[in-house]
Structure 1
Amino acid sequence: MRIATWNVASVRQRLENLLAWLKDCAPDIVCLQETKCVDEAFPREAIEQLGYNVVAHGQKGFNGVALLSKYQFDETKPRLFGDDEDVQARFLEGVVSLKSGVLRVACLYLPNGNPVGSDKYPYKLKWMSRLLEYSRQRLKTEEPLVLAGDFNVIPAAEDVHNPAAWVNDALFRPQTRESFQTLLGLGLTDALRAVSDKPGQYTFWDYQAGAWQKNWGLRIDHLLLSPQASDRLVDAGIDKYVRAWEKPSDHVPVWIDLDLEAA
């Protein structure tokens, strides 16, 4: 089973690229972020024609997440618990049945947090604390769990082209990285790093300053696995070639292969 995550930077603007990639790679479950449209405007028909079930949780012009699955969802649930006043569309959980039980996938678009001196950074850290509590509760079920999405976290120096240039950025601040490590400390596995420790495995290149051409990238899109999922990890990778397409997102898809069989 292949599970992928991709910040598409507007699903309607990148629909042609999304459909081409779905046809090329045929992932079983896809987590999309930054869809930037209300649920009624989500281009579900074109995606459904490729054999996917579609669940969207969006808002007009900002944020937005979606789950695509070749398998029926047993249940889906939007919003990350812990703050009833948070109306930003950044989280969507889905469950599918497997022969061995269930697989739970959480699609997330973690806040950017910049500028650090504004209220956006405390919001980011609070959101990460809520994600930590969510993960702590879900891990108690001992189910295969995948947290997939744009975390807006650079975990370590080898995950950014020039660490010194990012020391004061919300994505690389010590408190951000510490929160991410605390998440891993619960027992979650960074899937890509479990497969390869090579530096320069980036998932994002800014549109500015020729970042793509110069390979000035960041690794901020992640798939974190519970022990029951990491035990079934076969491979992980980054579809970097998508960034060279016309009208690309500034992110590229990241995927994992798990040895799981759907019911």
Structure 2
Amino acid sequence: MQIATWNVNSLNVRLPHVLGWLAENPVDFLCLQELKMVDEKFPLAALQEAGYDAVFAGQKTYNGVAILRRIARTPAAVATQINLPTFADEQKRVIAATYGDVRVICAYFPNGQAVGSEKFAYKMAWLAGLQTWLQAELTQYPKMVFVGDFNIAPDDRDVYDPVEWAGQIHCSEEERTAFKNLLALPLHDAFRHLEAGDKHYSWWDYRQMAFRRNRGLRIDHILVSDALLPHVSRCWIDKTPRKLEQPSDHTPVIVEIN
């Protein structure tokens, strides 16, 4: 089973990239963030023609999440949940569904804007609600894969310049502590389970030739539960879509679970 996460930064703009990537990488599940479209505009027919069904929750201009499943290889979604029941929020940031005995959760964490801002306070409150909900979810669904754009670089290995980013948004002590709290549930960072090195990033700013200079952050993550961790055989970042014309500023992260 292969599960991927990708912040596409507008599915309307990036649909050809998604369809092309799926044709070359027919993963069982692809979790998308930042759809930036209402549900009525979601391209379900095009995805079904490509062999994928989907559950999704969108909104105009901002946010939006979806889980795509490969129809030929996966069971239909049941027990779908949209947004956190532990945090009142109109923003479409979370979607979860169960496929067979595996719970798949796709999330787009708040950005936070700047440490100390109102948006940062919102992010930290949202993270607290997430923590509470995930704890209950793990009790009900011991086989869990939790993926998405977390907007958190967990440690200095995940930042191209730790000195420059020290204490800044995505790298603050508060955010990193919240990430550690997720791991304590327990969940496990699939990428770090297999790769200890630095200079592995999933996001690069559009400005200052950041991608060409590999000045990025690893903020897109795949966390797996205890029950699935022994079966994780690979986890990697595919930089290929970031090289396309008009790419998302994020690129896919994929895990393989045997």
Kept in 2: contact 1:114–1:169 (CA 8 A): no
Question: Counterpart of 1:201 in structure 2: which amino acid?
Answer: H
Give the superposed CA RMSD: 1.0
1:257 is aligned to 2:256: yes
TM-score of the two chains, using structure 1 as the length reference? 0.94
Counterpart CA distance in 1 for 2:28 and 2:117 is 39
User: Which one-letter code corresponds to 1:231 in the other structure?
Assistant: P
Q: Secondary structure at the match of 1:127?
A: helix
* Percentage identity across paired residues of the two chains: 40
Per the alignment, residue 73 of structure 1 pairs with 77
Tell me the alpha carbon deviations over residues 90-124 of structure 1, each in whole angstroms, 9 at most, x when there is no partner. 00001111xxxx10011000001012232100111
Task: Spell out the pairing of 1:108-127 with structure 2 (5 A cutoff).
Answer: 108-127=107-126
Residue 61 of structure 1: how far off its partner (Å): 0.3
Name structure 2 gaps, 5 residues minimum.
Answer: none
Deviation at 1:142, TM superposition (A): 5.2
Aligned to 1:8: 8
Query: Distance in 2 between the 1:247 and 1:5 partners?
Result: 19
How big is the shift at 1:82?
Answer: 1.3
From 94, 99, 109, the counterpart of 1:96: 99
Question: What is the number of residues matched between the two proteins?
Answer: 254
Residues of 1 paired with 2:87 and 2:138: CA distance?
20
* 1:132 counterpart SS class: helix
Shift of 1:141: 2.8
Secondary structure of the residue aligned to 1:22 is helix
Q: What is aligned with 1:51?
A: 51
**How far apart are residue 55 of structure 1 and its match?**
1.3
Q: Output the CA distance in 1 between the equivalents of 2:243 and 2:31.
A: 21
**Shift, 1:175, TM fit:** 0.6
**What is the identity, as a one-letter code, of the residue corresponding to 1:13?**
V
Residue matched to 2:156: 157
Instruction: Tell me if the contact between 1:30 and 1:69 (Cα under 8 Å) persists in the aligned partners.
Output: yes
- Structure 1 stretches of 4+ with a deviation exceeding 4 A read none
Q: What is the Cα deviation at residue 231 of structure 1? A: 2.0
Alpha-carbon deviations, 1:43-88, whole Å to 9, x = none?
111111111111110100000001101231123111112123x100
Amino acid in the other structure paired with 1:7: N
CA contact (8 A) 1:106 1:148 kept: yes
Match of 1:247 in 2: 246
Change (3 A) 1:142 1:93: closer
Deviation, 1:135, is 1.7
Structure 1: give runs of 5+ residues left out of the alignment: none
Moved more, 199-208 or 117-126: 117-126
Q: Distance in 1 between matches of 2:51 and 2:141?
A: 30
Deviation at 1:202, TM superposition (A): 0.4
Please report how far the alpha carbon of residue 208 of structure 1 lies from its aligned counterpart in structure 2 after TM superposition. Answer: 0.7
Instruction: State the SS of the aligned residue for 1:212.
Output: coil
1:24-43 aligned within 5 A:
24-43=24-43
Aligned ranges for residues 59-208 of structure 1 at < 5 Å?
59-70=59-70, 71=74, 72-84=76-88, 86-97=89-100, 102-141=101-140, 143-208=142-207
